[in-house]
Amino acid sequence: MRKITVQSTVTGVVLLSLILLTLTGCSTIKDKIPSFWDDNQSRAVIDIRQSVLDLDCKQPHAPQVAVIKKHMDWLIIYSQVKDTRDVLRLVKPMNETVNDFYDRSMVKQGSEAYCNMKKKVLDAQSGTVAKAVIGRF
């Protein structure tokens, strides 16, 4: 029968602590390291950007915003599956803007001024997202 000493217990605790620290450290490191270039994400952000630029506030908003939302949803699902957390964090504010615009447009057509304000915000957000996603190595 093996004799358990204080030294072997301390060594075991230290070793177990290092293993746990390493395992939990991997998930936090992934949050800090930017993801690499991805053709699909790059295409998706350009589709989003183009849909925003094509938004005509003199026409019914809901069908146009539905297209933007569909592109955003695709990018988010793809990024979740690929586990590119940096892209998910990057698109979160824009997704909130799109969802707000979509929800309101589905209930009632907003004014042209409201649409123009949302378009201006989405234009800035989609430009930032596109530059960041396409600018990766």
Query: What pLDDT sits at residue 23?
Result: 62
Inform me whether the pLDDT recorded for 66 exceeds 80.
Answer: yes
Query: What pLDDT sits at residue 20?
Result: 60
- Arithmetic mean of pLDDT, 47-63: 98
Inform me whether the pLDDT recorded for 89 exceeds 80.
Answer: yes
- Arithmetic mean of pLDDT, 116-135: 97
Q: Which of 48, 54, 56, 66 is nearest to 102 (CA)?
A: 66
Distance CA 94, CA 16 (A): 42
* 87: three-class secondary structure by DSSP: helix
- This prediction has a pTM of 0.78
